Homo-oligomer: A and B are copies of this chain.
Amino acid sequence: MKKVLLRDVAEKAGVSIAMVSYVLNGQKTDRINKDTAQRIRKVVEELNYRPNFLAQSLKLKKTFSLGFVAADIANTFSSQLARIISDEADQAGYALIIGSSDESKPRFERLINQLLNRQVDGLILAAPEGSDELIKALQDRKTPLVLIDRYFPDLLVSSVSVNNYQASFDAMSEFITQGRKKIGILVYDTTLQHLKERMLGAQDGITQSHSASYVTHVIHENHIEQEVFAAITSMLQTGVDAIYFTSNKLGIAGMRYLMNHQIAVPTQVSTLFFDETEVFDFYPSPLPFIRQPLADMGKKAVELLFQQMNDSALPPESIILETSFVHSHSSFTQ
């Protein structure tokens, strides 16, 4: 079965290719004869004509597709974000091409190049460590672009993120009012600003309470499980009575430990997580956590990106969304 072209429609309707194009795109409606238009539309229907996206894109210099490079698509955070962005893009008639850098800078760069080769109209990026210059270069090339989740303090780029510092700062009061005295903070060994801020916020929050101390353990990405286990072991030995997990994955590893070692939560140690996971549901006691407004983040990012695409002269805008503190995860979230 041969592909139906504009030419085929034109031929069958007895008009020029241009006419068909005009009718299909709703242009020159005031000029075109109603009957002709009707006839063309009928033929289009009959032949079930579908425009060739490639040809259109080539001509219009617009592919109606966006690229999203996630940090690690295996992580629920990324995949939920991807889903939201995809839906959002979809509604605007855009397709989303998704990549995952797996936190590797070279891979990130490769993905971006691929996306640009494919002429995506804009990018939403969860940038890995050390990718600042790369982002800068993209910006210099006037590539419409929005950072999500991650941001670089000395880079003036549009971004959507959450109040990492403040949320962490505020959350510590939870431990304080519980009367916790020694708080363990688990962080990654990273230069990523948003993670550093989670740590700093927590530390400052504790310090300023004047009623508790903290100990920070730095975990390396490639040995999460082992290092988290070691960190918690050490913490418990040194009388830590509350633990703040600054990320998703750290939290999961931590809970696995506490579960396996039958540590009573929150009696023996109190816990707090940045980010939510389905697994929390399955812990016998409620596990409080800081929730990021995923849907808003995704929507805002797409919105910002579209703005950039429509007006490249627009100055970069940084949106910082509020997180919320959730005391107990309802069993009835679907």
A141-B282 in contact given A54-B119, A225-B334 (Cβ < 8 Å): no
Q: Digit string of A56-82 for contact with B (CB within 8 Å is 1, else 0)?
A: 011000010100000001100001101
Q: In the complex, are the beta carbons of B256 and A331 less than 8 A apart?
A: yes
Q: Which residues of B contact A57 (CB under 8 A)?
A: 54
Q: In the complex, are the beta carbons of B50 and A116 less than 8 A apart?
A: yes
Q: How far is the CA of A225 from the CA of B279 in the complex (A)?
A: 16
Q: In the complex, are the beta carbons of B63 and A74 less than 8 A apart?
A: no
A37 on interface, CB distance cutoff 8 Å: no
Q: What is the minimal beta-carbon distance from A157 to any residue of chain B, in angstroms?
A: 17
Q: How far is the CA of A16 from the CA of B113 in the complex (A)?
A: 26
Q: In the complex, are the beta carbons of B97 and A97 less than 8 A apart?
A: yes
Q: How far is the CA of A141 from the CA of B50 in the complex (A)?
A: 14
Residue in B58, B98, B281 whose beta carbon sits within 8 Å of that of A256 in the complex: B281
Q: In the complex, are the beta carbons of A73 and B63 less than 8 A apart?
A: no
Q: In the complex, are the beta carbons of B74 and A117 less than 8 A apart?
A: no
Q: How far is the CA of A118 from the CA of B252 in the complex (A)?
A: 39
Q: What is the minimal beta-carbon distance from A63 to any residue of chain B, in angstroms?
A: 7
Q: How far is the CA of A331 from the CA of B253 in the complex (A)?
A: 9
Q: How far is the CA of A90 from the CA of B110 in the complex (A)?
A: 11
Q: Digit string of A157-184 for contact with B (CB within 8 Å is 1, else 0)?
A: 0000000000000000000000000000
Q: What is the minimal beta-carbon distance from A86 to any residue of chain B, in angstroms?
A: 7
Q: Which residues of B contact A224 (CB under 8 A)?
A: 334
A22 on interface, CB distance cutoff 8 Å: no
Q: How far is the CA of A113 from the CA of B53 in the complex (A)?
A: 12
Residue among A65, A98, A100 facing the most chain B CB atoms (10 A cut-off): A98
Residue ID in chain B nearest A259 by CB atoms:
B282
Residue ID in chain B nearest A141 by CB atoms:
B1
Q: In the complex, are the beta carbons of B1 and A119 less than 8 A apart?
A: no
Q: What is the minimal beta-carbon distance from A182 to any residue of chain B, in angstroms?
A: 26
Q: Which residues of B contact A79 (CB under 8 A)?
A: 73-74, 79
Q: Which residues of B contact A307 (CB under 8 A)?
A: none
Q: In the complex, are the beta carbons of B53 and A117 less than 8 A apart?
A: yes
Q: Which residues of B contact A54 (CB under 8 A)?
A: 54, 57-58, 63, 119
Residue ID in chain B nearest A255 by CB atoms:
B282
Name A24-66 residues within 8 Å CB distance of B. Answer: 50-55, 57-58, 63, 65
Q: In the complex, are the beta carbons of B332 and A225 less than 8 A apart?
A: yes
Q: Which residues of B contact A96 (CB under 8 A)?
A: 97-98
Q: Which residues of B contact A283 (CB under 8 A)?
A: 282
A267 on interface, CB distance cutoff 8 Å: no
A189 on interface, CB distance cutoff 8 Å: no
A140 on interface, CB distance cutoff 8 Å: yes
A213 on interface, CB distance cutoff 8 Å: no
Q: In the complex, are the beta carbons of A53 and B118 less than 8 A apart?
A: yes
A310 on interface, CB distance cutoff 8 Å: no
Interface CB pairs A-B, < 8 A, 11? A1-B142, A51-B117, A53-B117, A58-B58, A73-B82, A86-B99, A224-B334, A225-B332, A279-B281, A282-B282, A284-B284
The 6 A-B pairs with the shortest beta carbon distances in the complex, nearest first, are A282-B282, A54-B58, A79-B79, A279-B282, A279-B279, A53-B118
